[in-house]
Amino acid sequence: MTSWFFDSSHKQPLTSAAHHDSQQFQIRAATPTDLTGISQIIAESFHSQTGFWGWAFPLLRLGIYEDFRIRLSSATPHHICLVAVDTTISGTNNLVGTVELGLRFHESWKQNGRSFLYLSNLAVDQKYRRNGVASMLLLSCEKLCQEWGFKDLYLHVLEDNHQARQLYLKLGYRMHKVESNWNLFLLQRSRQIFLHKQLSFDSSD
């Protein structure tokens, strides 16, 4: 069974490679040296650098950096951050995507202690979108989910994020429920859709 965790030195993660056309992408566990690249990709994907909130972009990026630094330094079971790296270029700034996988508790499940694996912070550098990077990251998470002994995977997507919804639908994710929130309605923001995928285990394992 493949291990995606760091070794005892926490410096050498095992990796998985994937090809797409003339480019080769490597999916591996994130290291502390990836923090700057991760925070930049996520900040650019989810926050605008222009308009009224453009001035706050550096602060938002710093907050993302600190959040990831804390999570990467903790030894939380069943939690990992994966990054996609373009191995066809040299240098240290070759991160092209990232995703997090970790345990969560749903509000209605807390009393009986039930938890589930949850995908978050899936983001791809704008220059590398539509190159299969997001699919590679998602499939790597599904493989990890199976290795950890879980058969269900959940995530949220905004209702108006049609491109992401198409990707999740293509990979077999289905709507679990639409979450309504009065604050979102008043602020005229899109609702969140809670998606679920039931994974099939390989009988040869």
The rounded distance, in Å, linking the Cα atoms of 2 and 144 is 9
E strands, 47-151, where? 80-86, 95-104, 116-124
Give the mean pLDDT of the chain.
81
Q: In angstroms, rounded to a whole number, what is the distance separating the alpha carbons of residues 167 and 138?
A: 10
Check residue 49 and report its DSSP letter. Answer: S
Q: For 6, left (φ over 0), alpha (ψ -120 to 50), or beta?
A: beta
Residue 110 has pLDDT above 90, yes or no: no
Q: What is the distance between the alpha carbons of residues 179 and 163, in angstroms, rounded to a whole number?
A: 19
* 131-172 residue pLDDT tens: 999 999 999 999 999 999 999 999 999 888 899 999 999 999
* pLDDT for position 190: 74
Task: Taking residues 20-24, report their average pLDDT.
Answer: 64
More confident site: 99 or 187: 99
The mean pLDDT value for 42-66 works out to 90
pLDDT in tens, 80-104: 999 999 988 776 568 999 999 999 8
Backbone angles phi, psi at 157, to 5 degrees: -140, 145
Q: What is the pLDDT of residue 205?
A: 46
Q: Count CB atoms within 10 A of the CB of residue 12.
A: 12
Residue 112: band (very low, low, confident or very high) from pLDDT cuts 50, 70, 90? low
Give me the pLDDT at residue 21, please.
53
Poorest-confidence range of 12-16, 59-63, 176-180?
12-16
pLDDT in tens, 119-133: 999 999 999 999 999
Who wins on pLDDT, 40 or 10? 40
Using 50, 70 and 90 to split pLDDT, how confident is the model at 68? Answer: very high
